[in-house]
A and B are shown apart, each in its own frame.
Chain A
């Protein structure tokens, strides 16, 4: 068997472990981002001036600073400074979660603003509290609308997760680089890593497309009425 292929086969279980770690990082970061994004979007649309100002500040910070800088800042800077002992995995997950939270907040905010104002008014008119209206009427609708943009965000965060190797989290990229530096089979190994990322992207996007179809409101097409 040619060496480039045998190296890949031999390294595959090792890379697969990295794949699980990558999936863990992305899954947890997207979930954290979802929670943060929903709260911040609600704050941006329904909050008072102070709340809106603080959230806007947060959005500018996390959209304005490169993820690598944030990773170093948190892992070697903040966590060290405050003597917080976290693994590289946790650090990456938190940084990516905080970052995607900023982008998801914008996605959800846009979706909220695209809903007719009458939806909230009708809920209030029936005596619902603002919180009940947001939970029962606004969120179920905006989360549906947001799935395509969320799926896009997933593919971006998946690829950003490869940056975790710079602080030594043993995910796909770090493991590939480790094997390549010892076997010198760079070409076949990085092709393999690329394929793994591609498959993860594809599977995630397909799953979300399925979800989108599953929760689609009957009678509505993708772009609104009828």
Chain B
């Protein structure tokens, strides 16, 4: 149980989720220490997105326990879900910026409505966050006027402005043109360097090999393999993870 880094900041245990008669998660457990980065991999349909959304109850699990920073969440209570989501930021594959709001208002809206911060203070904070992701000059543009990479950086700034204790990232670079992947990767790496606690689903080898404290390999709603990259990806290791990552590298090779 112990991660060796003190009390976990996130503990999700035995999460199950069934849609209709299709069980997507069969009692999955994840623990995360402060500053730790875990990376979810596995082929499409394995349940990565569902697991991430269950962790902040955007999809409410059928059963299981969630504890964030010592706070046990009662998933039957709306109030608890709202509190949980304020602690846990979420980055989506397709950005999900609010289309009717400018980049800066995408950030201020939750600061004002959820954190009840004044408009001036919210604007100031939002501007700082946009500058952090290199978009200080784009604050007044609408999502439809931004490139995919810029949209994802606004989405990251929006999540960070809420001061989350944990960030969940669901394939943050998968919807991007190859030429725009780099700018998002470098923002994520900078976050990691600052000690942000994260769980990220990604198939980006450069993120997996450099950031992962632990890799979780998911298949059919279960974590079937987990370990550090240095062990799982070691030469000669017959792990599923290694095989999967090799196939990713082959893909990159073919494309390039």
Binding site for B on A (CB under 8 A): 116, 118-119, 121-130, 132, 136-137, 140-141, 144, 217-220, 225-226
Contacts and interface: CB of A to CB of B under 8 A. Distances in A.
Interface string B84-95: 011001101011
B99 A119 contact: yes
A121 to B, nearest CB: 5
B159 interface: yes
Contacts, number: 82
Contacts of B78: 129-130
Given A124-B85, A128-B110, A118 B94 contact: yes
Interface residues of B, number: 31
Interface stretch (B131-139, B141-149, B182-190, B203-211): B141-149
A111 to B, nearest CB: 13
Interface in B49-98: 53, 56, 58, 78, 82-83, 85-86, 89-90, 92, 94-98
Contact of A119 (B58, B86, B96, B155): B96
Contacts of A122: 90, 92, 96-98, 155
Given A119-B99, A126-B110, A218 B92 contact: no
B104 interface: no
B56 to A, nearest CB: 6
Interface of B: 53, 56, 58, 78, 82-83, 85-86, 89-90, 92, 94-100, 109-110, 113-114, 141-145, 155, 158-159, 162
A125 B85 contact: yes
Given A119-B98, A132-B114, A125 B109 contact: no
26 contacts: A118-B92, A118-B95, A119-B96, A121-B58, A122-B96, A124-B85, A125-B58, A125-B159, A126-B86, A126-B110, A126-B114, A126-B159, A127-B83, A127-B86, A127-B110, A128-B110, A128-B114, A136-B109, A137-B98, A141-B99, A144-B100, A217-B99, A218-B141, A218-B144, A218-B145, A219-B143
